[in-house]
Amino acid sequence: MLRPLANMSGVDIVSTLMPAKVSGNAQYFRQCFLNIIKNGIEAIQHGGAVYVHMHVDERTVTIVVRDEGAGMTKEEIARFGEPYFSMKQKGTGLGAMVAVRIIEMMNGTWTIKSKVGSGTTMTVTLPLLLEK
């Protein structure tokens, strides 16, 4: 769904995915990662890539979204997910807020690492739905 936006922005989406199940609303899950990946695409000014990597272990599903964008300061990282805080000129901050709320609603955790000029990495860990 995001490839047209990425193509228009000169951004590649590189993904390494595998099948896994997590508990929760599939539409909310999709919306969460649409928001996160869209933010990554929009953070890249002059071409680059957004990498989406997934790892599954015995109890968790970890999804890492890394962009080659502008990066964030420590202060900006601390405010990530706040309503109406955005680094984009026309942004509302609501996409990040929704993503964070969905992750928390799904009993997941998230972390952000970023360096100005070097991009941002968001790591989301969700409980693996174990088959019975």
pLDDT of 94-129, one tens digit each?
A: 889 999 999 999 999 999 999 999 999 999 999 999
| Residue 123, pLDDT score | 98
Cα separation, 41 vs 48, in Å, equals 9
pLDDT of 34-93, one tens digit each?
A: 999 999 999 998 899 999 999 999 999 999 999 999 999 999 999 988 887 777 767 677
pTM, two decimals, is 0.91
| Residue 89, pLDDT score | 65
Residue type, 68: E
Cα separation, 75 vs 77, in Å, equals 5
Number of H helices, E strands in the chain: 4, 5
Please tell me which residue, 34 or 1, carries the higher pLDDT value.
34
Cα separation, 73 vs 23, in Å, equals 33
